[in-house]
Structure 1
């Protein structure tokens, strides 16, 4: 007797519980704190905005271990509300105490949508970015906090985000596909027919989070979306779209697109700080989001690659992002493909 396994749509309560549970282990916090680009950029942004923190009230949305809250207190904040929904908040309390900042930093256990603060805030700080920027949908919570708790004219760090796309050639994929043609020479068994099967397994609809080598990027990246955190709405995030155009550097085979983001921190009269996850910049724990095509497409010098990128929540889990790319390579027929990050939270339904 066979069983049909179906993906079951998770209700919002379970989606949230699984999301917050993922932050109860030390590994993810170790990875984030150890990400020097991430942590030092936040610290420098807070320090350079010292005048905006002196004697002010700050809200840290999704505070985690509380490191950003402590940076804010060290910059002179009068009060910092470190709002954290998962049990890592217990460790944040210990870290705040260890740093003798209990009089300035208050760890508030709960989601920003449910907690009650005693006052409005002058500054919102949050490290909300997920893979491909919007995975996990934490930006929605930052916007909620902005609309409910931020004073008019208040500061948001970071306050702008941009999304970029570029065609790439992943040589590892080509090597894996070619492997099946080498088996006969090694073992006397022709397994070349496995190449098509392997292509379907490797070049699937999953968003692959990995580091892209800069030499594998085939054009200058194109910006396809920009978000102003002072004005963007949750409704706009549910259907984020943008066009792009790239021109290839030379002869190669495009087998994927690379998507990455930057976020910008205003620094008063000084030059803004930019945290970039570009393959042309130092590595971060976000790496890049790689979207594999169904089959490679040959390009030459100046071959145009154009199209539109759409980002929207998954139907099964609103915290998971989907990316649809409608694209044309040179004179080839327009193609479309929709990608998503594999969802470990599915439960089999027999």
Structure 2
């Protein structure tokens, strides 16, 4: 499996074509809408002030002129602002699979956290920072670009941890920490793993502060894809128009297809909808990945259908793994296209079958549900596939030039001698 690194989102175009066949969309402007979890990778105090004695910036400069590796754009400001809303953090914290797996990962690695210095990238309300303090960390730098950092500081104070947890209201690219750190923890994953591009902030923190051989939690991540058959969804959105209170409204169907399936859909599907075993789109080693890898990811795939059914699109999901760098052995097997993680078997806190015994948080269709659900790229029209039929092609996931937090998805696929293209944008 070839890898490449991010999600892709496509473009819209009014003349949706069904030639043999291209399904295309041409880029359109829209507000940053799906902010889910990431307004936090690092914001800065816009006044350039000091926070807890740690420098946020040396000079009072506008956001877009600050001397950081990535300029802070208007899109970034809007993104950070979206994470100031308590509802986003409530949704994440109430995701028990997510929050309890992180807490278990921290306690499993307590020996590497106790009396050590930790950075929490995108700390949100500060819950992971507090878990680390409870595990015995000497000091935790909780960094967040959103104004939620103000509440995080109060939460830390209310729990009597202000001497251990230092909340920094600023971007990772801009704040200053005047010591090396032993551990980086971050819940950076977006829909389709890389949507919202927060992993770049983790990489920046790693390159700025992490000691050689330091711990990163999660340590690895793997994005999967597989073709699906989901007739109920298609019927609900499209076939409905064939007969509406006895009126033939099938003239609405083309527009309905464009509106329903133009952009990727975040929803929960069952394992029964998946037509084949999944394949790896991208494997990430958080110790070694470079920011440049996140610009564009291309993966080739070849599926063999396990049943006869209409194929309605492709589903994407991911696993993240919490392990010590020296003990992890998954990179080789995944690079060869065969993940040692069974992507839909044992639930969220799956342990791999190899001796590393790593803790895994899964968002697969057969795992307990998470707030990430699965991301589906639907076709405008289903494709009939036979049992054992080959479905092959490639997927390219890239950061939008319009807004790096948007993802462009370019899908090429061939089945039964017919070739198709589907492009969409995840905003």
| Fold shared, TM-score > 0.5 on shorter chain | yes
> 2 CA distance for matches of 1:218 and 1:176?
21
Deviation at 1:153, TM superposition (A): 0.8
Deviation at 1:54, TM superposition (A): 1.2
1:174 maps to what in 2? 235
Deviation at 1:247, TM superposition (A): 1.6
Question: Contact conserved, 1:306 with 1:327, CA < 8 A, in 2?
Answer: yes
> 1 CA distance for matches of 2:251 and 2:168?
58
1:242 maps to what in 2? 299
Are residue 338 (structure 1) and residue 396 (structure 2) matched? no
Deviation at 1:202, TM superposition (A): 1.9
> 1 CA distance for matches of 2:178 and 2:165?
14
Out of 317, 325, 332, the position equivalent to 2:403 is 317
1:293 maps to what in 2? 379
Are residue 215 (structure 1) and residue 276 (structure 2) matched? no
> 1 CA distance for matches of 2:215 and 2:396?
29
Deviation at 1:199, TM superposition (A): 2.1
1:150-299 equivalence runs, <5 A? 150-170=210-230, 171-183=232-244, 186-187=245-246, 189-204=247-262, 206-266=263-323, 271-299=357-385
1:77 maps to what in 2? 137
Question: Per-residue CA shift, 1:2-25, capped at 9, x if unaligned?
Answer: xxxx74899852011011011011
Question: Contact conserved, 1:253 with 1:297, CA < 8 A, in 2?
Answer: yes
Deviation at 1:182, TM superposition (A): 2.1
Question: Contact conserved, 1:69 with 1:80, CA < 8 A, in 2?
Answer: yes
Question: Per-residue CA shift, 1:223-265, capped at 9, x if unaligned?
Answer: 1211111111111110112122222121110011101111110
Deviation at 1:95, TM superposition (A): 1.1
Question: Contact conserved, 1:123 with 1:154, CA < 8 A, in 2?
Answer: yes
Structure 2, gaps ≥5 residues long:
1-27, 33-63, 65-71, 328-354
TM-score (norm 2): 0.75
> 2 CA distance for matches of 1:282 and 1:9?
31
1:48-67 equivalence runs, <5 A? 48-67=108-127
1:104-115 equivalence runs, <5 A? 104-115=164-175
Question: Contact conserved, 1:80 with 1:106, CA < 8 A, in 2?
Answer: yes
4+ residue segments displaced more than 6 Å: 8-11
* Cα 1:42/1:255, change in 2 over 3 Å: same
Deviates more, 1:308-317 or 1:50-59: 308-317
Helix, strand or coil for the counterpart of 1:296? strand
> 2 CA distance for matches of 1:15 and 1:128?
18
> 1 CA distance for matches of 2:31 and 2:392?
34
Helix, strand or coil for the counterpart of 2:250? coil
Structure 1, gaps ≥5 residues long:
1-5, 343-350
Higher strand share: 1
Question: Contact conserved, 1:9 with 1:315, CA < 8 A, in 2?
Answer: no
Question: Per-residue CA shift, 1:74-115, capped at 9, x if unaligned?
Answer: 111100000111111111111111211111111111011000
* Cα 1:294/1:178, change in 2 over 3 Å: closer
Question: Per-residue CA shift, 1:275-296, capped at 9, x if unaligned?
Answer: 1111110111111111011311
Matched positions, count: 332
> 1 CA distance for matches of 2:31 and 2:313?
29
> 2 CA distance for matches of 1:193 and 1:9?
30
TM-score (norm 1): 0.91
Bigger relative contact order, structure 1 or 2 (CA pairs below 8 A, ≥6 apart): 2
